[in-house]
Amino acid sequence: MKIVVCAKQVPDTNEVKIDPVKGTLIRDGVPSILNPDDANALEAALKIKDDYAGTDVTVVSMGPPQATIMLKECIAMGADNAVLLSSRAFGGADTCATSTTIAAGIKKVGDVDIIFAGRQAIDGDTAQVGPQVAQRLGLPFVTYVQNVRELNEKERKVVVERQLEDGFEVIEVGLPCVLTAVKELNTPRYMQVGRILYACDEADIKVWNEQDLTLDPADCGLNASPTKVMRSFTPPPKGKGEMLTGTVTEMANSVVGKLHEKHLI
Amino acid sequence: MAVKIINEKCIGCSICEKNCPFGAIKIENKLAVVLDNCTGCGVCVKDCPKNAIENNATSMSNVDITLYHGVWVFAEQRQGKLMPVAIELLGEGKRLADEIGTEVCAILCGDNVDGLVDELFEYGADKVYYANMPELSTYTADGYTDAIYRAILKYKPEIVLLGATHIGRDLGPSLAVKCGTGLTADCTKLDVDPEDKKLMQTRPAFGGNLMATIVCPGHRPQMSTVRPGVMAKAERTSGKKGQLIDLKAELKLKFKAGDIRQKVLDIVKSTAEIVNLTDAEIIVSGGNGLGNAEGFKLIKQLADKLGGTVGASRAAVDAGWIDHSHQVGQTGTTVKPKIYFACGISGAIQHLAGMQSSDYIIAINKNENAPIFEVTDYGIVGDLYKVIPAIIEALDAQAA
């Protein structure tokens, strides 16, 4: 089996702070991490590798050169290869343009049986790139995969559970296909010590630009993005209300009284 | 045009001519010829028994945007019932359509869900585009993408809105790439630019730390998925009618074996009680401050007393104290009840993003510096295990 995992390096949004004066994001010093859902996607691929000898897992990411560190982590977890799609031409891409570049990268990897991606990245939360890559490659896709029930290599199909708001669907889809992972799918494994050394010293992380992918720069990055950010701003706070005082009973009576006065209860 | 006939392979069988939804293929001298009115929809490609037709249409960029009119709303239905977000989108779609000076339409896929057509008219749809086929009874990415994509190509809406449900977030990206246009995910606010009537789409990013307003200037349709629970529902006017367009007939829709590659074997409803946070008028939520799963019993007591619904912060869900379906916030459900009780919730920005438009927010927390107090109407600093029972007592006294 040949598996590609799509991964993204993201800022840890739990650590993002707002500059109280300028009202902008403070990104300095915010740690970069492997996007959480993508770690589940990688784990799903590695599980298949555990079961099927000879499986090759390649992680593909689009991002700046510093994303190689995240790819090394993926190799330390057990991935065989990693490719970084990196070029100035890819900058400023929306999901539409990103999916073109990633689809070209996967095509160059070639002959892939399954493509796993995280459902969404925590910096944008769009959940678009997975299905869009599938659409560009002409492959069927299933998003929100919470369980891989059965992989039948002979009949070239998988049966997966797709999470819904109030349950799940059981879906069968033929290979090759694109599956996007939610956190309920599995628990990502830790990096292995031996693999960390290998990842740092020996592993060869390929870097491909638009020429390697034979992409026209007009089809990449900002140029090829239908959506444009008009402005960004920090959400206005609602503003602090009244802090109640007194004993517990007094505060409880006060809040019930106020809600009653407003005919809310 | 991007659709090309490979003359060496074409046998002039005329299948493509008969099936073309736009009448854009003609047989001349025993060879198929693509006419100028071809839209590049690609129906002929898969119908051709000799694989003699190629379609290189990947993008509709540089489209003439003046050809696109109307606001479309994806009328998502499950098991023959409209999802509440579809009604919210009709309300919002109507408002946008009025500002632009155009009509609001619903696009409905399903199998014999005729009753929903009238419902959509009553909720304000001027037109309903209806793809009524057994293959579309349940959502599949391939089936719905194909039907709606072809409807978009033919009728050219300027705006397409979908609910950001697990289905809308699957369908939207796939449709957008097919149409060669952009898609803005999880919008919380939509506006029309008064000057050029462009759609301005506002959405949270970086886990709610930042809001971005996004436009799609050169491509059509402008597509957005919209968070459920954010927009006001459309008013229902009983007896209101509109125009019905039968897509199966108009587009000559049909599906062959293998066209829909996702095979839905089963749909399993969660055995847990269905939690309807979106429509709840009163929500009592518990967080990390509860300390254990038992704490939710107290939360439920207060919720029951008020006729409310139990919510939770991500911390409580991640700790395994309560099911994910109760989670309020960026990665859970967005809510706007009349009253929101936040008990033992510190108020991470992701949580605030999902509840701060509630009418009245009451927070109970031991830490007077907890960020939750920045958005509360009434704040109580104290031990929730003492405060909640006192509130229940006060409610009993009130009722007596």
CA nearest to A135 within chain B? B174
Question: Are B23 and B36 within 8 A, CB to CB?
Answer: no
SS3 B105: strand
* pLDDT at residue A22 tops 70: no
* d(C-alpha A239, C-alpha B94), whole Å: 31
Q: Specify the pLDDT at position A263.
A: 77
pLDDT tens per residue across span A66-125: 999 999 999 999 999 999 999 999 988 999 999 999 999 999 999 999 999 999 998 888
Which of A27-36, A78-87, A230-239, B265-274 shows the highest mean pLDDT?
A78-87
How much is the pLDDT for A252?
94
Chain B residues whose beta carbon lies within 8 Å of the beta carbon of residue A25 = 206, 209-210
Instruction: Please say if the pLDDT value at position B58 is more than 50.
Output: no
Q: What is the pLDDT of residue B195?
A: 87
Domains of chain B are 3-55 (3.30.70.20), 65-250 (3.40.50.620), 282-399 (3.40.50.1220)
CA A17 to chain B, closest CA, distance in angstroms equals: 8
Q: How far apart are the C-alpha atoms of A103 and A132, rounded to whole Å?
A: 9
Residues in chain A with CB shorter than 8 Å from the CB of B204 are 125, 235
State mean pLDDT over B243-251: 97
C-alpha R_g of chain B: 25
Pairing outcome for strands B3-5 and B53-55: antiparallel
Average per-residue pLDDT in chain B? 91
Residues A169 and B266 sit within 8 Å (Cβ to Cβ): yes
Look at residue A20 and tell me whether its pLDDT is greater than 70: no
Question: Are the C-beta atoms of B198 and B182 separated by less than 8 Å?
Answer: no
A48, A153 Cβ separation under 8 angstroms: no
pLDDT score for A75: 98
B357 falls in which pLDDT band (50, 70, 90)? confident
Task: With cut-offs at 50, 70 and 90, classify the pLDDT of residue B57.
Answer: very low
Is the separation of the CB atoms in A243 and B381 below 8 Å? yes
pLDDT above 50 for B1: no
Contacts of B339 in chain A (CB under 8 A): 259, 264-265
Position B59 scores a pLDDT of 44
Q: Which residues of B touch A172 (CB under 8 A)?
A: 262-263, 265
Phi, psi of A197 (to 5 degrees): -60, -45
Choosing among B380, B386, B398, which should be mutated to test the A contact, i.e. which has the most A CBs within 10 A?
B380
CA distance B340 to chain A (A): 11
Contact B173 A228 (CB under 8 A): no
Q: What is the ipTM of this complex?
A: 0.90
Q: Are strands A81-85 and A205-208 parallel, antiparallel or unpaired?
A: parallel
Residues of A in contact with B172 (CB under 8 A): 128
The superfamily (CATH) of domain A2-224 is HUPs (3.40.50.620)
Residue range A167-172: mean pLDDT, rounded: 96
* Of B119, B98, B101, the residue nearest B110 (C-alpha): B119
Q: What is the mean pLDDT of chain A?
A: 92
pTM of the predicted protein model:
0.81
Identity of the amino acid at A244: L
- Of residues B119 and B275, more confidence is placed in B119
Distance, CA of B329 to CA of B353 (rounded, Å): 6
Please state the rounded mean pLDDT for residues A123-141.
95
Distance CA B214, CA B52 (A): 41
Indicate the DSSP class of residue B327.
B
Length of chain B: 400
**pLDDT tier, B61 (very low <50, low <70, confident <90, very high otherwise):** low
Least confident of A18-27, A171-180, B45-54, B174-183: A18-27
What confidence tens digit (pLDDT) does each residue in A174-229 have? 999 999 999 999 999 999 999 999 999 999 999 999 999 999 999 999 889 999 88
Q: Which pLDDT band holds residue A237 (cuts at 50, 70, 90)?
A: low
Contact at CB, A235 and B211, closer than 8 angstroms: yes
Q: Rounded distance, CA B252 to CA A235, Å? A: 47
CB–CB contact A252 B387 (8 Å): yes
Check residue A235 and report its DSSP letter: P
